[in-house]
Amino acid sequence: MTARATDGRRAAVLGSPIAHSLSPVLHRTAYAELGLDGWSYDRFEVDEAGLPAFFDGLGPGWAGLSLTMPLKRAVIPLLDEISETAASVEAVNTVVFTEDGRRVGDNTDIPGMVAALREHGVEEVDTAAVLGAGATASSALAALSRVCSGEVVVYVRSAARAAEMRQWGERLDVEVRTADWSQAAEALHAPLVIATTPAGTTDALAAAVPERPTTLFDVLYEPWPTELAARWSMFGGAVVSGLDLLVHQAVLQVEQMTGRAPAPLEAMRRAGEKALAER
């Protein structure tokens, strides 16, 4: 699933909204470090309605695309093939244009989560908790299928979301139990907590951080740190950030699109940190 690493190739990130995306910073840094001077990486504001026309307008110089919301499912009918990982959550965040003209989709969010956890010493846990039940939560469950050997408790705000998460658990072969969001403070005692909610949602939980927290994976990277992450770190717990996830999934995208491995993880991380600090 690799594209030929030749000069003059193009790649980009698509989504709506897209102006906030750090992907151009990360990918351009990788190209510079890898000596791919002729490569370019841009961002384009594209919604679901405009996606087919964007694909129709792509020329032979394109190596690949990164996709963010709301396009991760909308892109699937436009592809020739998707990986098992992408199919498992019905979400594609990476498209590679192969040398024979095929459009191949993958999901690097899931292995990116696993890689970020392992970088912080989390190889396996016997139970875990997930805060939230949106699209990122299903990717979190897929990642947990690789690192959690037991029950995953997902804290949700509605019966509909609870049913959806249980269905994802069955599909991903993850033992899922759901609990009401009013009990979310209990999640903070799990060996691994993954927060998948929008900014501000978990702020009220910061006061409930236990004296000896374990590992928190907060998928946000802006604003950072979240109140929960700051309190967790203050009490000595390990914190995995959304930037960790973003960098690890981008590393995998760069490797697939360019055919060059390993991608420069540390240089990409430094570039992302610098860009965030300048905002």
3-class SS of residue 237: coil
Helix (H/G/I), strand (E/B), else coil: 134: coil
- Token couple for 219: 């998928």
**Inter-residue contact 94 to 252 (CB < 8 Å):** yes
Residues labelled catalytic = 72
**Dihedral angle at the C-alpha atoms of 276, 185, 119, 82, nearest 10 degrees?**
-80
Q: List the alpha helices (DSSP H) in the chain.
A: 23-34, 51-56, 84-89, 109-119, 135-147, 159-172, 227-234, 242-258, 265-277
Lookup result for tokens 């961002």: 43
Please say whether the beta carbons of 254 and 30 come within 8 A.
Answer: yes
Helix (H) or strand (E) holding 44: strand 40-45
Exposed / middle / buried, residue 100 (Cβ in 10 Å: 0-12, 13-18, 19+):
exposed
200 contacts: CB under 8 Å, gap ≥ 6: none
